[in-house]
Amino acid sequence: MSKEIAKLRQMPAVDEVLRTEQIAALLQKHPRVLVVESIREALDEIRNDLINESDSRPLERDVLISDALQGVYSRVAQKARPALRRVLNATGVVLHTNLGRSILSVSAREAVSQVAQNYCNLELNLASGKRGSRYSLVEDLLVRLTGAESALVVNNNAGAVLLAVGTLAKGRSVIVSRGQLVEIGGSFRIPDVMEQSGARLVEVGTTNKTHLRDYRRAIDSETNLLLHVHTSNYRIVGFTHETSVKELAELGGETGLPVMSDLGSGFLIDLSPFGLPYEPTVQETVADGADVVTFSGDKLLGGPQAGIIVGRKEIIDRMKKNPLTRALRADKLTLAALQATLREYLDPELALHTVPTLRMLTMDLGEIEQKATRLAGLIRTEAGDYLNVSLENGASQVGGGAMPTADPPTVLVALRPHELSVEELTTRLRNTDPALVGRVHDLKLLLDTRTLRDEELPLVARVLRQVCTEVTK
Ligand SMILES: *Cc1c(COP(=O)(O)O)cnc(C)c1O
């Protein structure tokens, strides 16, 4: 025991480490609190080691200080990493909600950067010099692209639904099909949103079949809204019937009730020519007679997180006056990115190339195969000693709770590590910078290049080498 005490006597104090040149250099780059905290932790670790280790290390103070410095470097590096970090998405899930859904087009990124660096006319009308409205910034584009009379953008689509239902039916009832009582994820469930908005939910029909007559029968003096919800993330197949927005709009016309369609992942370009399922676009839904349509900015539209509401002017004007709109308002960075994204759609052919979400979803198999072959070659060069690399056919996913039954064909790079377990490999890959996330199947790590950009491929190979060499050292 006395030997341990003798060892501990040699322990440097926090201040002593803090005064070294090396730490002075570190303090130029990192906040003092983090550096001091790291010194404390590093010294604690050494102290514990000294107490627990039976074999004694050389006990010079210099050695202890240099040990401590090593510990401080790695701790400071760890603490300095941003909480929100870059991830290489090799999952093949294009709209991966956990990985941030859509990545932005070049023009959207530039727009965000402009607005982030400079003051802007967020609420100043530059033509008149008077106060302007942030909502008018994207309204014209949305009206032009969707054919609706008016538009409003809020923070996200969950907020858009809450605002729309609350404005149209607070204290009154809303008719929804039992087949459309969707849970999107987290706590967004249509019945709960209804309750939050202060409207009463009236369920009609059955899980698999809801007819127009079911809606008609449920209408009474309390009814204020007919709501159609896109069953984004699930499909009811077999003996089914769904009442279309068009039929609901006719009923709405007869009864004077507004019809709302929550499209979830609304989009402006029909993607069925690219092998994806046909679903009505926002324009078609508006043309079918929906009075209000809500959809997300960052699902298939491929823009920033936002909730987009388009519809009849009289209704949108009422929403603009709802105090909830202020609570849900979109910020300037979102509006900048959304405007730039929407602009891409003025030329749909071009948008298919410039909006990354559309680009990835419409990429043909030949191109994916080329990318996969290139990635496999890069990985063999960088980490072929540690990994068995092969190509496999597979399927990508749309994700983001959209087109759940679509499985666009893809070519996967399959990696089987020689010495590590696949679990160990994936754990390590989540901790590299950038992190790399793929899919695990059958003791293999599968990488789908559909969701990786060309310039990311060498980075993927380097990250794999880094992880593999760390381990076998
Ligand atoms: C995704 C989705 C929402 C929620 O949209 P967020 O943009 O995630 O808030 C609402 N309704 C439907 C039908 C959806 O698919």
Return mean pLDDT, the chain.
94
The whole-angstrom distance between residue 430's C-alpha and the CA centroid of its chain comes to: 17
Phi, psi of 375 (to 5 degrees): -65, -40
Q: Whose CA is nearest to atom 6 of ligand 1?
A: 157
Residues 6+ apart with CB under 8 A from 99: 87, 89, 91, 93, 437
Ligand 1 atom, smallest distance to 230 CA: 13
- The whole-number average pLDDT for the span 285-290 is 98
Cα(110) to centroid(ligand 1), Å = 26
Residues 6+ apart with CB under 8 A from 366: none
Cα(400) to centroid(ligand 1), Å = 9
- Decide: 408 and 275 in contact? Cβ < 8 Å: yes
Instruction: Quote the pLDDT of residue 390.
Output: 98
Domains of the chain in start order, with CATH, are: 3-80 (no CATH), 87-96+361-472 (3.90.1150.180), 106-354 (3.40.640.10)
Cα(208) to centroid(ligand 1), Å = 21
Cα(12) to centroid(ligand 1), Å = 56
Indicate whether 62 pLDDT > 90.
Answer: no
Indicate whether 402 pLDDT > 90.
Answer: no
Indicate whether 297 pLDDT > 80.
Answer: yes
Q: Whose CA is nearest to atom 10 of ligand 1?
A: 264
Indicate whether 5 pLDDT > 90.
Answer: no
pLDDT band at 405 (very low <50, low <70, confident <90, very high): confident
Ligand 1 atom, smallest distance to 158 CA: 9
- The whole-number average pLDDT for the span 198-216 is 95
| CB-ligand 1 contact for 457 (6 Å cutoff) | no
Among candidate residues 299, 297, 310, 295, the one with its CA nearest the CA of residue 339: 297
| CB-ligand 1 contact for 180 (6 Å cutoff) | no
Chain segment 391-400, per-residue pLDDT in tens: 999 999 999 8
Among candidate residues 109, 7, 108, 114, the one with its CA nearest the CA of residue 55: 7
Chain segment 129-173, per-residue pLDDT in tens: 999 999 889 999 999 999 999 999 999 999 999 999 999 999 999
pLDDT band at 1 (very low <50, low <70, confident <90, very high): low
Report the residue count for the chain. 473
Residues 6+ apart with CB under 8 A from 195: 201
- The whole-number average pLDDT for the span 192-201 is 92
Instruction: Quote the pLDDT of residue 473.
Output: 46
- The whole-number average pLDDT for the span 207-212 is 93
Residue tagged 């991830």 (tokens): 87
Q: Specify the amino acid at residue 150.
A: S
Instruction: Quote the pLDDT of residue 471.
Output: 58
Q: What is the DSSP string of 165-200?
A: HHHHHTTSEEEEEGGG--EEETTEEHHHHHHHHTPE
Return the H-helix or E-strand segment holding 307: strand 307-311
- The whole-number average pLDDT for the span 112-125 is 97
Question: Using DSSP, how many helices (H) and how many strands (E) does the chain show?
Answer: 20, 17
Residues 6+ apart with CB under 8 A from 101: 95, 298, 299, 305, 399, 400
Cross-strand pairs, 88: 436
Instruction: Quote the pLDDT of residue 2.
Output: 63
Task: State which of 260, 262, 267 you would mutate to test the pocket of ligand 1, scoring each by most atoms of that ligand within 8 A of its C-beta.
Answer: 262
Residues 6+ apart with CB under 8 A from 340: 104, 105, 107, 108, 110, 111
Among candidate residues 342, 203, 318, 192, the one with its CA nearest the CA of residue 267: 342
Range scoring the smallest mean pLDDT among 30-34, 120-124, 236-240, 301-305: 236-240
Range scoring the smallest mean pLDDT among 54-68, 84-98, 355-369: 54-68
| CB-ligand 1 contact for 300 (6 Å cutoff) | no
Cα(337) to centroid(ligand 1), Å = 19
Task: State which of 157, 177, 357, 398 you would mutate to test the pocket of ligand 1, scoring each by most atoms of that ligand within 8 A of its C-beta.
Answer: 157
Chain segment 333-385, per-residue pLDDT in tens: 999 999 999 999 999 999 999 999 999 999 999 999 999 999 999 999 999 99
| CB-ligand 1 contact for 296 (6 Å cutoff) | yes
pLDDT band at 263 (very low <50, low <70, confident <90, very high): very high
Kindly tell me the burial class for residue 462, based on how many C-beta atoms sit within 10 Å of its own C-beta (0-12, 13-18, 19 or more).
Answer: middle
pLDDT band at 79 (very low <50, low <70, confident <90, very high): very high
Q: CA 25, 28, 31, 37: dihedral to nearest 10 degrees?
A: 10
Cα(362) to centroid(ligand 1), Å = 22
Cα(312) to centroid(ligand 1), Å = 21
- Decide: 293 and 282 in contact? Cβ < 8 Å: yes
| CB-ligand 1 contact for 447 (6 Å cutoff) | no
pLDDT band at 57 (very low <50, low <70, confident <90, very high): low
Cα(264) to centroid(ligand 1), Å = 4
| CB-ligand 1 contact for 401 (6 Å cutoff) | yes
- Decide: 446 and 440 in contact? Cβ < 8 Å: yes
pLDDT band at 33 (very low <50, low <70, confident <90, very high): very high
pLDDT band at 54 (very low <50, low <70, confident <90, very high): low
Instruction: Quote the pLDDT of residue 100.
Output: 96
Indicate whether 96 pLDDT > 80.
Answer: yes
